[in-house]
Structure 1
Amino acid sequence: MASEIVALSARVHTWRFGERPREIGTGSILRRDFVLVRVDLADGTVGYGEAFHGHAGTAVAEIVNTTMQEVVVGRRADEMLAVREETRERFLLASGMGGFVFALSGIDIAMWDAFGKSAGQPAWRLLGGAEPDAPAYAGGFTLGYSTPELLVADLAGLAERGFTAAKVRVGDGFEADAARVRAAREALGDGFRLMTDANLGLNYDTSRLATVLGEAGADWLEEPYPPGRRDAYEALAALRRVPLAAGENIFGADAFGQWIASGAIQVAQPDVSRVGGIREAIRVGHLAQAHGVRFVPHISHTALNHAATLTAMAAVGSKDFFEADPTAVNPFRHDVISGGVTVAGGRARLGDAPGLGVAVDEERLAAQFPGEAGSPWPRVRR
């Protein structure tokens, strides 16, 4: 029998970029924030999870450190479903407080990590998953707005590192977007897969870009509109010019079910640190598979999220793309937090280490990366 949870806690950690990433549709982010969730078991096992910060990571941590205590503490480490159901009934369906989805996500991930460690098994195996090995595409904060020449140079560098696919940002004008995509396709050839991301919307007729992307053979156009405009997704998807992708801002399998069934998206992209955790992402994966929709999860900041993402993919038997963070420096991926997913030769893999297989240096995190309040995204004036 799984050990009992005797403690639950959360805190925000922040890393300021030495050089801020190039601008994308939502601006240029100031820093990496994440909410570290910790569960302690009676047998001494410690599990960790990553909850998405949103625009107020301290608020998410507060939910974990207060209200969620009575939901989680005292349960067994394998009672993820009970935690999910109580959270939904009390705080999501009744009160509609979105911060609880982020909190639940981090808690669910931490519980799977703790349960796996306590059982001496990797979480993906406890979930009955296939071997966690998938092709990787370069995503994250890379490839923001730039000239076609600079983009081609960036893509060539990624190709040299073994990537055969990457995500290009669009949204700073039709001519600039079209020129970047066409230059990338011409320079990299048909063998290199191109994804595009508008980051919640374009300031021009989206169907024009969809035509260009279709001609370039792009895998998808991600978030051409804000999530409140599902009807616009449906109308654009009906043109069948390019597959549409979304999901990092869609919360819960119930909502995904509506998006998938309506034909609004052809690529489902839940983020395990936002959607409700590993188990909820798996639900989305099964819905997607049942409707012939691709399941390509979105990633957040740390090795915890990345390992949980590939765990969810393995659990549904997905061999589609894993979104890799190819940035040269990310201390939350290969320093104070490390392990989990290995990306090499254009593929992402998880090993057989118990839980998520991720090491967390809490002492250094507290000393070197104290959390900041407020939003990491500055206001964008349009």
Structure 2
Amino acid sequence: MRIVSLSARPHTWRFAEPPRAIGTGSVLRRDFVLVRVELDDGSVGYGEAFHGHAGTAVAEIVNTALQDVVVGRLASETLAVREEIRDRFGANGLGGFLYALSGIDIAMWDAYGKSAGRAAWRLAGGSLTSFPAYAGGFTLGYSTPDLLVADLVGLRERGFRAAKVRVGDGYETDVARVEAARAELGPEFGLMTDANLGLKYDTTRLAGALGAIGAEWLEEPFVPTRRADYVALASLRRVPLAAGENIFGADAFADWIRSGAIQVAQPDVSRVGGITEAIRVGHVAQAMGVRFVPHISHTALNHAATLTAMSALGSRDYFEADPTAVNPLRTDVISGGVVVADGDARVTDAPGLGVAVDEERLAADFQGEPGSPWPRPAA
């Protein structure tokens, strides 16, 4: 099961109609970096690395600097790859190397499972196969209360019992939307809120309103450089605070959790270091009494890898599902691995991650575009 080749390539899918704006603007496309490893028995594993606003740069790291770290190793040596990358390239901060490691780690788990003929979640020691799902991803951006309620009712009709609402375009409009959602859907429907790296008004006031409404959490009320502000807001105990897609590594999560900054840990397997690191984060969170609710990225590879980590941890908390009607990176050129139905997400028992990847169509129809998928904010 030795790795004989490693490669990466950025890919892009443009929205026909961009999603509604959130705190960081309105994204124009889905970017990701496909990582591919091949074993000496012919097994091929795939992983999704986060693009980091420059997918070509992340792919370059995989295709150059990390070749001698990975090629020649056993597919099962995910922890050894993690340690060497951190030791060799982490002196000045891992940056894109961590995104590259994430895709490599996921691909190694996939290849390992395929070669062994077993599901990756079984190889990771998992036992749970079904998890409650909430509707997240790019959905439910800024809108009127009536439009948000209509969207949420539609999601409930599809079986979802929880969803994440975006906040940040004004205190009155934010609270009006969330209050309307609670009034229509009742106390049994889970409402998460996400500020997407900060608000332009009094966050403390919003936290009080969300606590009164019964929100599950307020996600990323500040940029990650403002951890002291997380600690101060969390100490008021108005609403649980969540973060993690921009926190990197189990050691960093341990510091955040120990400080009291967050009550919900949200690592993304395509950013934090892969399945291996997400499991480490989960152990830290569980040991310190914090919820483990991973963030998701764009493709079925990320989603299956996320559930692999959750299964390995025995986590019965929420899986963040992408409920968008059209996402070919989840249901077409990349598909499988996860089934979301009746408000639950279920892993498959297929070997590896159980995800099918059409490399030819990705290369032909989803060529990577340079630069960031997020447009420059208006002045």
Q: TM-score if structure 2 supplies the norm length?
A: 0.99
1:259 pairs, out of 239, 256, 259, with: 256
Contact 2:86 2:94 in 1 (8 A): no
Matches within 5 A, 1:217-366: 217-366=214-363
- Give the residue type in structure 1 aligned to 2:15: F
Deviation at 1:381, TM superposition (A): 3.0
Q: What is the match of residue 96 of structure 2?
A: 99
- Hey, what's the Cα distance between the residues in 2 that align with 1:292 and 1:29? 34
Match of 1:52 in 2: 50
Identify the residue that residue 180 of structure 1 maps to in structure 2: 177
Q: Given the alignment of the two structures, is residue 128 of structure 1 paired with residue 125 of structure 2, yes or no?
A: yes
Q: Is the 8 A contact 1:171 1:201 kept in 2?
A: yes
Structure 1 position 132, deviation (Å)? 2.1
3-state secondary structure, aligned to 2:101: helix
Amino acid at match of 1:19: E
The residue aligned with 1:76 is 74
Cα shift at 1:162: 0.2
Deviation at 1:198, TM superposition (A): 0.1
Quick one: distance in 2 between partners of 1:263 and 1:349?
A: 32
Cα drift, residue 364 of structure 1: 0.6
1:96: Cα distance to partner?
1.4
Within-5 A mapping of 1:103-118: 103-118=100-115
CA distance in 1, matches of 2:79, 2:161: 37
Query: How far apart are residue 184 of structure 1 and its match?
Result: 0.5
Task: Give how far 1:111 is off.
Answer: 0.1
Q: Which amino acid aligns with 2:237?
A: R
Q: TM-score, normalized by length of structure 1?
A: 0.99
Return the alpha-carbon distance in structure 2 between the equivalents of residues 189 and 24 of structure 1.
24
Q: Which residue of 2 aligns with 1:215?
A: 212
Q: 5+ residue gaps in structure 1?
A: none
Q: Which AA in structure 2 matches 1:66?
A: T
State how far apart, in whole Å, the 2-side matches of 1:346 and 1:96 are.
39
- 1:89 Cα shift? 0.3
Inter-partner Cα distance in structure 2 for 1:355 and 1:37: 15
| Contact 1:271 1:299 survives alignment (8 Å) | yes
CA distance in 2, matches of 1:202, 1:304: 32
- Between the aligned partners of 2:94 and 2:210, the Cα distance in structure 1 is 37
- Write the distance in 2 (CA, Å) between the matches of 1:373 and 1:91: 24
Q: How far apart are 1:31 and its partner, in Å?
A: 0.3
Displacement after TM superposition at 1:321 (Å): 0.2
User: Partners of 2:242 and 2:54 in 1: how far apart?
Assistant: 26
Contact 2:245 2:271 in 1 (8 A): yes
Q: Paired residue for 1:12, among 6, 10, 13?
A: 10
One-letter amino acid of the counterpart of residue 299, structure 1: I
Distance 1:13 1:55 in 2: 12
Q: Deviations over 1:189-221 (max 9, x none)?
A: 111100000000000110111011001100000
Question: Is the 1:132–1:313 contact (alpha carbons within 8 Å) kept by the matching residues of 2?
Answer: no
How far the C-alpha of 1:380 sits from its partner, in A, is 1.2
Q: CA deviation at 1:130?
A: 1.7
Q: Per-residue CA shift, 1:350-382, capped at 9, x if unaligned?
A: 011000000000001111101101000011135
Give the Cα–Cα distance (whole angstroms) in 1 for the partners of residues 30 and 375 of structure 2.
13
Cα deviation, residue 97, structure 1: 3.5
Deviates more, 1:217-226 or 1:130-139: 130-139
Structure-2 separation of matches of 1:247 and 1:329 = 26
Partners of 1:140 and 1:323 within 8 A in 2: yes
SS of corresponding position for 2:106: helix
CA distance in 2 between counterparts of 1:235 and 1:163 reads 33
Count of matched residue pairs? 379
**1:60-119: CA deviation from partner (whole Å, max 9, x where unpaired):** 000000000010001111111110000000112x13130000000000000000000000
Partner residue, 2:31: 33
1:202 partner SS: coil
Per-residue deviation, 1:131: 2.0
Report SS of the residue matched to 1:8.
Answer: strand
Show structure 1 runs of 4+ deviating over 2 A.
none
Corresponding residue of 1:168: 165
Residue type matched to 2:306 in 1? Answer: T
